[in-house]
Each structure stands twice: as C-alpha cells, then as structure tokens.
Structure 1
Amino acid sequence: MQRSKPKVLKATRPFLSTLALVLLFPSFSVIAQAQVAQNTEGVSSAAIQQVTAAKLMTNSPDGNFYPERLISRAELAVILVKAFRLDKQEVAKQPKPISVPDVPPSNWAYQDIQIVLKTDVMKGYRGNLFFPNQRVNRAEALAIFAQAYGVFQFSDDAVNEILASHPDAASIPSWARKAIATVVTEGFVNTDAQNNISPLKPMTRGDMAYVLSKYLQRQQPQPETPEVPSITNSPPSP
C-alpha cells in the first residue's frame, strides 16, 4: 500500500513575525483569513457535530471547535486510533515499545503514537523521530488517512483518470496520488469552489471533520432493499 513520506523541512528564521506582517501590511490578515476560509470550505456545522458526537474529535475547553486551527502529527495519530480502533489490532498490543526519542512516555499522545507506529499507519523520520508537533499538509493527512482506511490498488491510468477533474491534480506529490485517489473515490475530500484538492495547504480541524463525517456516513448500515413479491402468470386459485 502507498504510504505518505513526510519531508523534514529545514528550519528557517522568518524575517518578519506574523504579528509584524499584520501591523505593516493590513491586507496580510485578510489574505490569511481567506486561505483559512478556502481550506475549511464545505465543512458544515452538522459534520462537526457528527464527529464530536462520535468522540473522534473534541471541542476546546471553551466549547468552540475552531475548524480553522491546524492539525499536528500527534493530533492526527490520536484521531486515527479512535476512528479505526487501531488499538484493537493484535500488532498494536505488542508490549515492547518502539523507541521514539522525541515522544517520551510523558507525552500526552504517547500511547496513540505508539499504536500508529506499530500498526504501520504512520512512520517516523530518520533517527526514529516522530515530530509530534509538526503540522501536516492536506496531502500528508489524506494519504495517512487512506493508509488506515486501506489504499485501493488502482493502476496509474485509473489514478490519473480519477484525479483529472481536479485542476490542481498535478501538484499532488507522486507518493500520495494513489492514496488521494482512494479518498477522492470514497467521497472523503472537501474541495474548493473550483474543485481543487489543495494538497500542499495545511490540514485544518475543519478539513479533518469533513473527512471523518463522510467516513462515519460510510459506516452506517444501509437500508435493506425490500423484497419484491414474485409474479407468476398462473391464474389465482378458485
């Protein structure tokens, strides 16, 4: 199955802080808000309520969901364990922990990070580092979700055909294309007004709520097809 391969980005010191940009360029905050609105487009309050009711995600202590906030790798691990019940898999019950230097047992997400690593749903970086606080973009989050869900083994031609209707399909990293084709096929992806997937934009809580709500809908039992009485040409008995 295709797995996501997150990149370790080299840290750089920004010339201006976000606050400075907002003060110097008032339009900066407007642009940032527009990007968040675009990322969370199509995410309804009903989807958020469905996900919180299922306890796959939670509101903040003040009662707000904050759909515009970004998802970290630790948060993604916790969500996936709940959504797919990864802790019930036999491999997750192995007593020997996986060494993760940057996720000690005192970390709030330690147990769930151990589970996603043991089940091979998420991978560490070189040196067994997990980078729990690193934010994920949409390509990474969707590909990792597909890994837990089960990546469909489409041919390359089928993948290209599935993604062809999305104008920004060319910007999807090659390692994520089959996985994203899977979640697109299943209807798990929220797109913008132009049907863009926006794979390189940050994954927000709202984006994640949309994916999970669609996944939950797929898990609901479908109504049974009523039986149609058979019709015969024989005349009724007298």
Structure 2
Amino acid sequence: EIGYFGGISEGYRLPQTIDQKVVTKSKKSKTIELNYKEVVFITGKPVEMEGTLSIQSKGRVDDDVDNGTYDEVYTIKIENPLTKEESLERKITFETRYYKVKQDHMTQVIKDSTPKKWTETVRINGKQYTLDSDKSRFIKSMIEDYTPGVQYYSGKLSTEAHYINGDERVVVCLEGPLYGYEQPWSKTETQDLQFIVKSQGGEKNWEMAGTITPSVITKKTLKYYQTPNLPHSLEGTYEEIMENHGGLLYTITSHHPDLSPKQKKGSLSVPSFNIFEILKAPKNLDFLKGHFAEEDIKKLYSMNILDENPVFFKPNQAMPRSQYVKALCRAMNIPIEEIETKKTSRRSKEQVQPQIFADVSPNHPEYPYIMAAHKAQLIQGDGAYFYPERPITREEAFVIFVRILGLERLGLDPTPRTPFVDDAYIAPWAKRDLYAAYNLGLIKGNPEGKILPKNWLSKAEAAALTNRLIDYLRSDMLRDYRALQY
C-alpha cells in the first residue's frame, strides 16, 4: 500500500463496525487509490513529488488451495507541486507466485513478485527520462505469517531501473527489507531502503547513495462523549476514530558539496482525512454503576463484541467457553459469514453441516463462532469435545490470548517457570503462553503475586481482559514497532 520505490502513501483504512453489519458483494478485481508522495533522485538532486497511487488487485491468495498466482497493477502519477512541468508516471504489473506452509495455530505464505510489464517516464529539469524495461530488474520476496488474529509479514525488495535521456544513462538501484503487521485494530509497514543512483554519458558522470525509510500506520481509537445535562434518551456515545498517516525520511550519505544540508536530509508526510464512526449506545446497564469492569463491559457492548441481553447479563457469573470464543471472534473480526450463509441458504438446508466437536451441533447458538475459531486455529478443544457450556479457566483464557497474537515464542522454552507465586498450579501446556502473556504485559497477577490459573473467569473479568487485549492491539503493539523505527 506504499509502493516499492521509496515513496509513501496515506495507507488504506481498517474495517469499520458498519462494514460487518452492511455486507457488500466482493469483486474479484479491486482498485484502491491513495494519496502518494515520492522523492525523485534521478538528476542528482532530490525533487519531492506528489499525486496518487492506484493499486488494482486481479486476484489474491486463495483460501482453498495451497499454491497459485495472481496479478497486481501499480499506477503512480505524481508531479512537482512547485512546477507542474516536472512529473513521473509509472505503471507496473506484478505477477505474484505463492505457496502455503501450515503449522500449529498459524499458516505461512511465501510470495515472490516480479514484473510482467513495466513502463515509466520522468520529466524533470527540462529533460525526459524513459525506462529501458529490457534492462530493468525488480524482485520482491516475502513471508506472511497468518496467526489466528494477526498477519505478520517481512521480506526484501531489490530493484534496478535503467533510464535513457539521449546519450545519458541513469541507473537507480534500491534495496532493503520491509516488515509489518495487520490486524483489526492497527497496522503498520516499514521499509528500510538503501539507494544508489549512477549517471553516465551526460554532461558529467556522477554517483549518489543514501537511505530512505518510508512507513505507514493506521489505528483505531475510541472516545466517549457524555450527553449534555438535557432531557435525552442517551447518557453518552462512543466514537471510533480511524487514523491514517504515512511518513518518509531520506538521507544522502555520499559526498555532494553542491547540495545544501536541507537537500541532503529531508522528510515527507502524507496525513489522511480521519474517518469516524458513532457506535451504538449501550442501554440497560445502569446496574454496573461502580463495578470495576463497568467501562470495559460498556465498551464491548458498544463495539458489538458483547450482545447478550443486558437483562440476563450477570457480571460475576462464570463465562462459558462458547461465549468467550464468540466475543473473541467478534473482537478479532474472524470471518463467520461463510458458515452463516450455509446455514441460511435454501440449498444447504439439505446438506449436513460439519461437526468437529461431538458436543457442538449445528443447532448450537454459538456453532458458527466455534467453527470459525477452529478454522482459524484459535481453539482445538479436548479431543472430540469442546465443552461449550463449561466455564473457561484463567489459564485457558490467557493461552487463547497468546494464540491470537501468535507470539508463543516469547515464552522461551516449552515449560518455563513463570514469575507467579502459584506457578506449580499452572498446567504444563499453558506455562509457555502465560509466560509470553506476562512478557507482553497482558497479565500481571494479583497483589499476592498469584495468577490463579484454575479459577473460573467471570464475565466481568473476561470483558476486562478482552478490552485489555484490544488496547494492546490498538496502541502498545504499534508503539513497540514505532520504537524500532525511530
């Protein structure tokens, strides 16, 4: 979404709550257009240009096959805002080949992208540079790690673009790693690129080197607005704000006495118009006044993560495993549409719905969510049984948290000793995940230093923990990535 030539876009938005409620037909070919900026070094001096980046996807990774190919078309049209006579037009069609590697609680996708067609024209300083596509090279190789709740990715790109301007030949080389993640509450991508520009055959031969670090972030924040002291049916409302921002830093590292300090080091920014959404106002929750989880429960009702009739919601009641899984599926936007469609279509009424767990029939109210969580490798159950009505224990809940994040490796060895006083009561299969959750700051233990692993989780505690997970995904995870970038 920021291109692969050292530029930066505003990034595309994350799904909103209304997107889950209003279903639109998906198209096989999808095009998005983003505001875009790039620094052009082809003349030996940095020239900042701005315009648009259009990405047309002609396919994607197929969920039902283990390998395949698809095409994407990147079209960039930018110009110097100070003089419209300087511009760049680039159109490149990528063919991406991929294959999948499936592991416990995650699926990895390996991708290689190369250009099928590449055209580019740069008009700058009264000159026109045309891409020599026969000599130009581009390759991008990536690995995407699909955990139940977060998609991580990292890879490397390398490009060698040859340009012709009469007798002058300019070669622009760009290479470096890219990495990032995407999940329902925030996402980010960073590229750490090194560039070399060489010119021969012109008025004089020259060479330039430097670094470019483009990055983009998108996050959701939640704010509460109290209704003024007026006759009104609503006490207050929650507003969810979508923030997008792209930024770029560049530094020319080679010696160029003809360039000013400002030209040798600079930055670009592409802020986006923030999108906001008013969420539903939770009602009939006055009985929560003063409860430690009052705000957490109201937030989850507002975000449609909890939907139990408030009349029957008992905050101190044990949280059933099935309802806990349902809440997490909604919190992580795990798709269940396919299963729900099968249940409501006329043709499929005659078909037998798959039943993974002997105690979860297709008639169970949480069947779609349990099946979706199983498909996402979030849950496994106990052999052939899931025990949907059994209260979930604290250690079970924490293990699912870490599986959502896909960060089990932070637990070090399979059975570490955790820092909790009651470590001996933690099941061996849960120790690694609880240690990881502790390292992430998701769990801390009570004032006595205990985690109480076998205790049942109340609905209020489940709401507080789920909201803590969302806050981590909104802010803390993004902050950790940003700390590495600056």
* TM band (smaller chain): 0.5 to 0.7
The offset of 1:199, in angstroms, is: 0.4
Q: Distance in 1 between matches of 2:313 and 2:443?
A: 20
Query: Counterpart of 2:298?
Result: 49
Q: Distance in 2 between matches of 1:157 and 1:122?
A: 19
Query: Counterpart of 2:464?
Result: 210
Q: Distance in 1 between matches of 2:337 and 2:441?
A: 26
- 1:147 corresponds to which of 390, 403, 424: 403
| Contact 1:136/1:203 (<8 A) preserved | yes
- Map 1:181-200 onto structure 2 (within 5 A): 181-189=435-443, 191-200=445-454
The offset of 1:151, in angstroms, is: 3.2
Question: What 5-or-longer segments of structure 2 have no aligned partner?
Answer: 1-102, 106-290, 343-352
**Percent sequence identity over aligned pairs:** 19
Say if 1:2 and 1:177 are closer, same or farther in 2 by CA, change over 3 A: farther
| Contact 2:415/2:428 (<8 A) preserved | no
Q: Distance in 1 between matches of 2:385 and 2:406?
A: 25
Q: Distance in 1 between matches of 2:366 and 2:292?
A: 26
- Map 1:18-97 onto structure 2 (within 5 A): 43-58=292-307, 60-62=309-311, 65-87=313-335, 97=354
Q: Distance in 2 between matches of 1:75 and 1:168?
A: 27
Q: Which amino acid aligns with 2:369?
A: D
1:129 aligns with 2:385: yes
Q: Distance in 2 between matches of 1:110 and 1:156?
A: 35
The offset of 1:129, in angstroms, is: 2.4
Say if 1:86 and 1:167 are closer, same or farther in 2 by CA, change over 3 A: same
The offset of 1:140, in angstroms, is: 1.2
What is the root-mean-square deviation in Å for CA atoms of aligned residues?
3.4
Q: Distance in 1 between matches of 2:381 and 2:307?
A: 26
Tell me whether 214-223 or 78-87 shows the greater mean CA deviation.
214-223
Say if 1:111 and 1:179 are closer, same or farther in 2 by CA, change over 3 A: same
- 2:424 corresponds to which of 149, 154, 170: 170
Q: Distance in 2 between matches of 1:56 and 1:216?
A: 11
Which of the two has greater strand per residue? 2
The offset of 1:98, in angstroms, is: 4.0
Q: Which amino acid aligns with 2:357?
A: V
Say if 1:107 and 1:172 are closer, same or farther in 2 by CA, change over 3 A: same
Query: Counterpart of 1:119?
Result: 376
The alignment partner of 1:139 has SS state of: helix
Q: Which amino acid aligns with 1:210?
A: A
The offset of 1:158, in angstroms, is: 10
Q: Distance in 1 between matches of 2:406 and 2:432?
A: 11
| Contact 2:104/2:377 (<8 A) preserved | no
Task: Indicate the structure (1 or 2) with the bigger Cα radius of gyration.
Answer: 2
Q: Distance in 2 between matches of 1:54 and 1:73?
A: 20
| Contact 1:103/1:132 (<8 A) preserved | yes
Say if 1:182 and 1:53 are closer, same or farther in 2 by CA, change over 3 A: farther
1:138 aligns with 2:405: no
The alignment partner of 1:111 has SS state of: helix
Say if 1:99 and 1:47 are closer, same or farther in 2 by CA, change over 3 A: closer
**1:2-51: CA deviation from partner (whole Å, max 9, x where unpaired):** 88xxxxxxxxxxxxxxxxxxxxxxxxxxxxxxxxxxxxxx9442222222
Q: Which amino acid aligns with 1:183?
A: A
The alignment partner of 1:79 has SS state of: helix
| Contact 2:297/2:464 (<8 A) preserved | yes
Say if 1:100 and 1:58 are closer, same or farther in 2 by CA, change over 3 A: same
Q: Which amino acid aligns with 1:138?
A: R
**1:194-213: CA deviation from partner (whole Å, max 9, x where unpaired):** 13111011111122112111
| Contact 2:415/2:431 (<8 A) preserved | no
The offset of 1:65, in angstroms, is: 4.5
The alignment partner of 2:447 has SS state of: coil
Which of the two has greater helix per residue? 1
Q: Distance in 1 between matches of 2:318 and 2:374?
A: 22
Bigger RCO (CA 8 Å, 6+ sep): 1
**Count of paired positions:** 181
Say if 1:202 and 1:2 are closer, same or farther in 2 by CA, change over 3 A: farther
Q: Which amino acid aligns with 2:393?
A: N
The alignment partner of 2:335 has SS state of: helix
The offset of 1:176, in angstroms, is: 0.3
Q: Distance in 2 between matches of 1:174 and 1:115?
A: 27
TM-score of the aligned structures, taking structure 2 as reference length: 0.33
